[in-house]
Amino acid sequence: MTTSQDTRQFNINSYWGPREETLEAIADRYIRTVEALMRIDPVFSPWIFIGARPTVAPFDQARTKLPELLAKGLAKDWGPAEGYQFGGTNSIGFTPRSISLRCWAGNSMPPRGYNNSVTLTTVPHNYFPTDASIVTYDLFRSAMLAIIEAWDVTWCAAYPADIMKFWPPMGSHHSFRLAWMTYVSPRFAPLIRPPQSIESQTVAGGGVLMVATRERFDVTNPEHMAAARAIDTAMAPLNALPWPPDR
């Protein structure tokens, strides 16, 4: 059984392709995300907005001027069509219960990496082990759904950082990789046949969520890894599409 002493970093990563959006629309999505996370668990409170240059402010203060703060989030030498980068955290300074959010939204340009994305991470494992009490199926599933529904994502996955050593090399045509839980949007869900050996759920208006285990995922558990590999095999039709699939 995984304990708090050996719980390493866990992540949720979501992606969607080129999408032009106003600053007001992006601000609304961010607010909806943070409010949903706060309803899930007290670990998401208090929340701090972090801008890209950098701007740091309590969420209740930032939300009143969020479009203005987001406008400062253009990466150097970028134009608005390349999107805005910003984020947030539940703490300044790392603790075992730290959770951070990184966002890149409003990019309408041809593919540049993941185009648009929202990533939630626990504390980096080189600082502290993550408090095991916050790495649960219920919390991570709920956080995934909050991100999926607020941002209308194409794909979303929750996974331990340890599983990344089993991923194909960067640059390989295998964009969707081994994970604990994997979501595919309604547009692409018909391409996926969830394995009978794993739990699958219909969520978010017809998207599919595939779950390797309701336990905390452990890469040393052969059953967990076998379920993750079965999900990865089911994702093959989506991996076969040109990148990004929702260009």
Express each pLDDT in 93-136 by its tens digit: 899 999 999 999 999 887 655 579 999 999 988 789 999 999 99
The beta strand positions in the chain, using DSSP E, are 10-16, 48-50, 56-58, 82-89, 99-107, 116-122, 155-160, 181-184, 199-203, 207-211
Share of the chain above pLDDT 90, in %: 72
Helix (H, G, I), strand (E, B), or coil: what is residue 88? Answer: strand
Average pLDDT, the chain: 90
Neighbours of 223 (CB within 10 A): 12
Average pLDDT over residues 210-231: 97
Residue of 147, 210, 141, 138 whose CA lies nearest to 14:
147
Share of the chain above pLDDT 70, in %: 91
Average pLDDT over residues 176-195: 96
CA atoms within 13 A on the CB side of 167: 18
User: CA 218 to CA 125: how far, in whole Å?
Assistant: 15
Candidate from 77-91, 183-197, 225-239 with smallest mean pLDDT: 77-91
Please tell me which residue, 70 or 125, carries the higher pLDDT value.
Answer: 70
Query: 115: which DSSP letter?
Result: B
> What pLDDT is stored for residue 244 in this prediction?
79
Express each pLDDT in 71-96 by its tens digit: 887 655 667 788 889 999 999 989 99
Candidate from 26-40, 67-81, 143-157, 201-215 with smallest mean pLDDT: 67-81
Nearest-5° Cα angle at 83, 90 to 64:
50
